[in-house]
Amino acid sequence: MNMHNVSWVRQDIMAASPRPSGEGSALTWAKRNLFNGWLSTTLTMASALAVTCMAMAIAPWLAHSVWHANSLAECRQILDGTPGACWGVIRDRWPQLLFGFYPSPLYWRPVLAFALLFTALAPILFRAVPQRALWFSVVYPGFAYWLIWGGSLWFPVAIYCCFVVAAAIFALTARFSRGLAAALSVLAAAIWSIHAVQPVSALATDILPIALAPVASREIGGFLLSITIGVTGIALSLPLGILLALGRRSSLPLIHLLSVTFIEFIRGVPLITLLFTASLLLNYFLPPGTNFDLILRVVIMVTLFASAYMAEVIRGGLAALPRGQYEAAEALGLDYWKAQRLVILPQALKISIPGIVNSFIGLFKDTTLVMFIGLLDPIALAAAIRANTDWQGIYWELFIFIGAVFFVFCFSMSRYSMYLERRLKTDHR
């Protein structure tokens, strides 16, 4: 026998064989996932029984829903003793739940601001949108403020000039020292915000008056208030959290100490305490006669609270990176900020996506706590509606509607995080 003719590797390609019968069918899937052993079968049967009982209890209540009614008494009269949901309260009070006491002739302004929010987020969230549209994402916050609160258009423009002044100072002084340039930029921005915003805005208004009817913060409520606080807190807490995470890992003792102190203090205090501080105590530390809007104070406190938690989430992503990534950035000759921007942070943020989105969802739901300081969020408005004589005694319909709206927003964030994880997945396991 000639051993040189023995082939240990197949020389021809095997013909494709048909899939086994029953493989991939619904019955096979159910057997593998729902009835795989006695424990799985027991849990499946118990779950099916619980869902069936719940559906049998809720279905008649939903089947006899009443939408056209102006009071709970009218609903009960239509139902005539039959159990049923009185959705007439939603039909009657949905503008109040959405906008609070915002003037009804001006509803177009928050609706337009909310519609433009998706336009501003599109180039940030989706790769297919042209990146040159990012200029609108930058302009949008000031434009949305002007639409919702009204007043002179030149006020948000003057605030934007604060960032222009800071960028100009940084560009002029960065050649000497980046640290000094950053400090001078912050100082210039603070001076402009305190001493120049109001005069510049008033002067521009006198020259070219462009203004909308002003709306007081006490008239803003409902989901408009929750979305405003939630979106602003989410947008600001991520960059602040990144800076705090980097500061906590910094080798500079002062920056490290300040970051650790801030994070541990904020994380050790309940959010409701910070909200009471914003509502009651903050005015004692401001100059007499200072008019500091309550919603702005709440946004600041919510942002600081979320930033501390965000910093720990991102720090976990930074700690998960192998040391070789830092060494590779150093080997490429990158300075600290270029290494963080091009090598370290993209990988750390990718690892931290589930924790970041979880923090965002928690922050958005925590906006309901503002009811304890007198702001009219959807929960507070539901209590006010239930106190009205027309709807006194109604309960489930209001809270089911509010919960459903919150679920839509939170579920959308969760699904986007899953899409982002799939888009950024670079391994093929």
Q: In this structure, are 60 and 131 located in the same domain?
A: no
d(CA 243, CA 237): 10
What domain range is 144 assigned to?
114-150
Residue 205 CA, chain-centre distance (Å), reads 34
Flag whether 421 is in a domain. Answer: yes
Count of beta carbons in the 10 Å neighbourhood of residue 161: 18
Instruction: Indicate the number of domains in the chain.
Output: 4
Q: Judge contact between 401 and 97, C-beta under 8 A.
A: yes
Report how far residue 40's alpha carbon sits from residue 44's, in angstroms, rounded to the nearest whole number. 6
Instruction: Mark whether 118 and 241 lie in a shared domain.
Output: no
Beta bridge partner(s), residue 86: 66
Please check whether residues 274 and 297 belong to one and the same domain: yes
CB atoms within 10 A of CB 291: 6
For residues 274 and 347, state if they share a domain. Answer: yes
Three-state DSSP class for residue 286: coil
Q: 268 and 345 share a domain?
A: yes
Based on the fold, state whether residues 192 and 327 are members of the same structural domain: no
Structure tokens at 119: 């336009």
E strands, 112-270, in order: 151-152, 211-212
246 shares its domain with 374: yes
Residue 108 confidence (pLDDT): 94
pTM: 0.85
Residue 109: CA count within 13 A, CB half-sphere: 21
Find out whether 317 and 349 touch, Cβ atoms under 8 Å: yes
Rounded CA separation 352/320 (Å): 9
CA distance 26 to 19: 15
Instruction: Give SS3 for 293.
Output: coil
Torsion sign across C-alpha atoms 38, 43, 47, 49: positive
Give me the tens of pLDDT residue by residue for the chain, a chain 429 residues long.
455 555 566 677 777 776 666 556 777 788 888 888 888 889 989 999 999 999 888 888 888 888 888 888 888 888 888 888 889 899 888 999 999 999 999 999 999 999 999 889 888 888 888 878 888 888 999 999 999 999 889 899 988 888 888 888 888 887 777 777 888 888 888 888 888 888 888 898 888 888 899 999 889 999 999 999 999 999 999 999 999 999 998 888 888 999 999 999 999 999 998 888 888 777 666 666 667 788 888 998 999 999 999 999 999 989 888 888 888 888 888 888 888 888 888 888 888 888 999 999 999 999 999 988 888 899 999 988 988 888 888 888 899 999 999 999 999 999 998 888 888 776 555
Same domain, yes or no, for 183 and 301? no
The answer to whether residues 381 and 419 belong to one domain is yes
Positive or negative, the Cα torsion across 259, 265, 269, 274? negative
DSSP code at position 148 = H
Cα distances from 8 to residues 4, 15, 277, in angstroms, run 11, 19, 78
Residue 54 is assigned to a structural domain of this protein: yes
Residue 313 lies in a domain: yes
Can you give the pLDDT at residue 219?
A: 92
Residues 239 and 378 in one domain: yes
Quick one: DSSP state of residue 278? I
Q: Are residues 197 and 243 in the same domain?
A: no
| Residue 207 sits in the same domain as residue 355 | no
pLDDT of residue 360: 93
Angle (CA) 403 405 410, round 5°: 90
Surface-to-core class of residue 143, CB atoms within 10 Å of its CB (0-12 exposed, 13-18 middle, 19+ buried): middle
Q: How far apart are the first and last CA of the chain?
A: 44
SS3 letters across 337-405 = HHHHHHHHHHHHHHHCHHHHHHHHHHHHHHHHHHHHHCCCCHHHHHHHHHHCCCCCCCCHHHHHHHHHH
Residue 167 in any domain: the answer is yes
C-alpha atoms less than 13 angstroms from C-alpha of 188 in its C-beta half-sphere:
19
